[in-house]
A and B are shown apart, each in its own frame.
Chain A
Amino acid sequence: MAKDKDKKKKKKDKDSSKHYTLNIHNSTIDVKTMLSSMEKKSE
């Protein structure tokens, strides 16, 4: 009986899980900005 309940709960948990596709933002490295921030750090 307890096992059945556990099975049902697991099935319910599985059914309620959701699937998403993330929108990851492409990135551009601005070398000028990077170099100037490195210079500031080294000061």
Chain B
Amino acid sequence: MSKLCPNAAYDALLDYIANSDLITVCQDTPVSYADATGLNDAGGDRVAGVAVTPGDGGGDFTIADAVGGGRKLTIALHNAVPVVKDGTVTHVCLTLLADTTLRYITTCDSRAVLNGDTLDLPAWTITIGAAT
């Protein structure tokens, strides 16, 4: 008999992440909302950021079946995001202002940037694999 995890269970977790309203690009690994949203070297790690529409289907987040089973959250691309502080970016974070939560962190290729530069953030995914 095969194992099953209903989509609703996967989606409860992915919805939590998809209810973020800000993507930040950070230097170092943020350990809190304050770290992820505060400006780099001014009490936080943020070098750049872009506001997003929270929720699956709102334009910035899409939850769907993953290839090979499980479910996948896709975060839409955002182009020309302004860099507001010098730094070396290494992490991308999803946060929510309403309850000041840090909801997800992933990594990115390290890159030194300067205030005034711009960043394209391609679409990226968070996947939960099928039950095993």
A/B pair count, beta carbons within 8 Å: 71
Provide the main secondary structure of the chain A interface.
mixed
Nearest-Cβ distance from residue A25 to partner chain B, whole angstroms: 5
**Taking the complex as formed, is A39 at the interface, i.e. its CB lies under 8 A from any CB of chain B?**
no
B106 near A31 with CB under 8 A, answer: no
**Count of chain A residues with a beta carbon within 8 Å of a chain B beta carbon:** 18
**Taking the complex as formed, is A37 at the interface, i.e. its CB lies under 8 A from any CB of chain B?**
no
**Taking the complex as formed, is B31 at the interface, i.e. its CB lies under 8 A from any CB of chain A?**
no
Chain A residue at smallest Cβ distance from B125:
A26
A–B pairs, 17, beta carbons within 8 Å: A18-B118, A20-B111, A20-B113, A21-B120, A22-B25, A22-B109, A22-B120, A23-B108, A23-B122, A24-B108, A24-B124, A26-B106, A26-B127, A28-B127, A29-B126, A29-B127, A31-B128
Interface set of A (CB-CB < 8 Å, partner B):
13-14, 16-31
